[in-house]
Amino acid sequence: LAKTTQPISMDSYEGQEVNITCSHNNIATNDYITWYQQFPSQGPRFIIQGYKTKVTNEVASLFIPADRKSSTLSLPRVSLSDTAVYYCLVGDGGSYIPTFGRGTSLIVHP
Amino acid sequence: DSGVTQTPKHLITATGQRVTLRCSPRSGDLSVYWYQQSLDQGLQFLIQYYNGEERAKGNILERFSAQQFPDLHSELNLSSLELGDSALYFCASSVQGLTNTDTQYFGPGTRLTVL
């Protein structure tokens, strides 16, 4: 069962780039890496997904090194509205148990 | 709006009671997931159904049960409620229910308070 490790919290300021790294040392060959964002009292929302190298969409970029044992979510030029909890979700190698972990609480300051 | 609906939005009940939470997945999604989120436990996976069949089971208590109906909506039944069951309960849906590739779309949640 792939387990993920993320920093518990991070602080940033408006306009800065934020990078949140997730460790998943036991990731399986067929596992994808997915990131979700959650605002207080709301359900998590999909941000981005990748398998290897780099993926970019209109919201974020996801960097995955060749060994795939970690991944980094990059949020360009954050604003106050990016204050949320960010979860890294890794496939479980086939057992279908989604493990979100505690996530990273990002606070963006003015 | 994710397209996933959950009712009720809030529920207040007493210890020992039984409640039913309801979830309607996005149109076309065959898989439904249930999660519990409390302040001290984070987002905990409870159970998943795919096209009416149970696919995966997480840390779901024996007092809790769920099912997915032919029209694909799902219900989570919580019985013999305890104070510690107070939490946000989320439902999510996905197209197929393959954990390592499917995007999960979450509903707004049901906030359960047990007094």
Which residues in chain B touch residue A24, judged by CB atoms under 8 angstroms apart? none
Interface test with A, best of B5, B41, B43 (most A CBs within 10 A): B43
Q: pLDDT under 70 in chain A at which residues?
A: 1-2, 92-96
Please give the residue that has the higher pLDDT: either B38 or B39.
B38
Taking the Cβ of residue A100 and every Cβ of chain B, the question of whether any pair is shorter than 8 Å is answered with yes
pLDDT for the residue A2: 55
Whether B109 sits inside 8 A of A41 (CB atoms) is yes
Region B12-20: mean pLDDT is: 97
B58-107 pLDDT, tens per residue? 989 999 999 999 999 999 999 999 999 999 999 999 998 776 678 899 99
Which residues in chain B touch residue A64, judged by CB atoms under 8 angstroms apart? none
Output the CA angle B53-B56-B60, nearest 5 degrees: 110
Task: Give B74's strand partners.
Answer: B23, B68
pLDDT for the residue B100: 64
- How many residue contacts between A and B have a Cβ separation below 8 Å? 68
Which residues in chain A touch residue B109, judged by CB atoms under 8 angstroms apart? 41-43
pLDDT for the residue B90: 97
Which residues in chain A touch residue B103, judged by CB atoms under 8 angstroms apart? 34, 46, 49
pLDDT for the residue A56: 96
Q: Residue B108: which residues within 8 A CB-CB, separation 6 or more?
A: A42, A43, B4, B5, B6, B9
